[in-house]
Amino acid sequence: MTAYATATIDSGFTEHLLQLRGAIEGRLDELLPAVSNERDLVAAAVRDGALAPGKRMRPLLLLLAANGLGANQRQALDLACAIEMVHAASLILDDMPCMDDAQIRRGRPTVHLAFGEDIAILAAVALLARAFGVVAGIEGLRPLVRTQLVEIVANTVGSQGLVQGQLQDLRDGKNARSEEEIAETNNLKTGVLFSAIMDMAYLISDAPKPVRGVLQRFAVELGHAVQLYDDLQDANPNNAKDQGKDDGKSTLLALYGEERVRERLDGHLARAQICLDEAYRGDVYIGRFLGMLFA
């Protein structure tokens, strides 16, 4: 059990999260393409990949981060949905036979098994395109901010973001690697999306400039924590995805063992909390949210 597990989770906050989750689900449903007929397999796969039951950690984090900074919540909601689309697309591709060859995702068959590999690839591309469209179409943004938000999505997805992280994981993960090399891959695979989330929340707010750097430090710590937590869950039979996919990979868990990885996880979470305290000055919502995720 991590340090966050001792956080007080009151019923009011739980209800607040349920409301936010409902808002995300409802807006995603509105933004995703409708299935016009039974032959519209790409739209069906897009909806299956994005609306499958999940923790919605990333969009919830964006809404909480933006709310704590006093940002426009309608704008934050659309950004949160765009982030979830990017995440869903990355999962579809990550599960493909040429990559991790996964069978189960979020407790159900992976998209390529349910719809075929060709439809899965097209659905991932469609989700990424829709994410860009959603960000570009948010009302009330200053032109410079809109441009910056679109650029963040592009950089997050691109060859120095998620794509590079996936490549390193596929090609280098099978070889012996140093701690620094593994950490770099973890940051690219997981951390870049959290960095995007916190930067988006900052850009649509009026937070002072120094806060931006603090939020980025938080994102880095959280990204490492989430990846370590995911590594620890690889052998959990109650996990809603395939187990044992990290067997034979050079991960920090393989390098150091479970006890040291749990210690490192706690260290990342403790440093993340320090950043939250500095950025939000007593707003504990994100800390409580992480407490639920890492309990």
List pLDDT tens digits, range 263-275: 999 999 999 999 9
Please count the other Cβ atoms lying within 10 Å of the Cβ belonging to residue 289: 23
Residue 5, domain member (yes or no) = no
Residue 283, domain member (yes or no) = yes
Please count the other Cβ atoms lying within 10 Å of the Cβ belonging to residue 134: 21
Quote the number of domains for the chain.
Answer: 1
Residue 14, domain member (yes or no) = no
Instruction: Average the pLDDT over 179-191 and give the result.
Output: 92
Burial of 128 (0-12, 13-18, 19+ CB in 10 A): buried
**Binning pLDDT at 50, 70 and 90, where does residue 25 land?**
very high
User: What SS3 class is residue 118?
Assistant: helix
Host domain of residue 288 = 20-294
Q: Which residues fall within 8 angstroms of residue 213, CB to CB, at 6 or more apart?
A: none
**Phi, psi dihedral angles at 197 (to 5 degrees):** -60, -50
Q: What is residue 241's DSSP assignment?
A: S
Residue 4, domain member (yes or no) = no
Average pLDDT score over the chain? 91
Tokens of 274: 């320090």
Cβ atoms 292, 61 nearer than 8 A: no
Cβ atoms 272, 290 nearer than 8 A: yes
Beta bridge partners of 109: 104
Closest by CA to 232, choosing from 271, 267, 261, is 261
Tokens of 205: 């707010």
pLDDT at 250 over 90: no
104-105 and 108-109 strand pairing:
antiparallel
Cβ atoms 112, 165 nearer than 8 A: no
Residue 10, domain member (yes or no) = no
Q: What distance in Å separates the CA atoms of residue 250 and residue 291, rounded to the nearest whole number?
A: 28
Residue 13, domain member (yes or no) = no
Residue 232, domain member (yes or no) = yes
Tokens of 114: 């349910």
Tokens of 247: 């067997």
Cα 102 off chain centre by: 18
Closest by CA to 79, choosing from 157, 158, 132, 30, is 132
pLDDT at 95 over 90: yes
Instruction: Average the pLDDT over 227-240 and give the result.
Output: 79
Report the share of the chain in percent with pLDDT over 90: 76
- Say what the pLDDT of residue 245 is: 64
pLDDT at 5 over 80: no
CATH number of the domain enclosing 256: 1.10.600.10
Q: What is the largest CA-CA distance in the chain?
A: 52
Please count the other Cβ atoms lying within 10 Å of the Cβ belonging to residue 240: 15
Cβ atoms 153, 128 nearer than 8 A: no
Question: pTM of the predicted model, to two decimals?
Answer: 0.92
**Binning pLDDT at 50, 70 and 90, where does residue 8 land?**
very low
Residue 222, domain member (yes or no) = yes
**Binning pLDDT at 50, 70 and 90, where does residue 285 land?**
confident
Q: Which residues fall within 8 angstroms of residue 135, CB to CB, at 6 or more apart?
A: 78, 79, 82, 146, 149, 150, 153
Q: Which residues fall within 8 angstroms of residue 19, CB to CB, at 6 or more apart?
A: none
Closest by CA to 137, choosing from 126, 149, 125, is 149
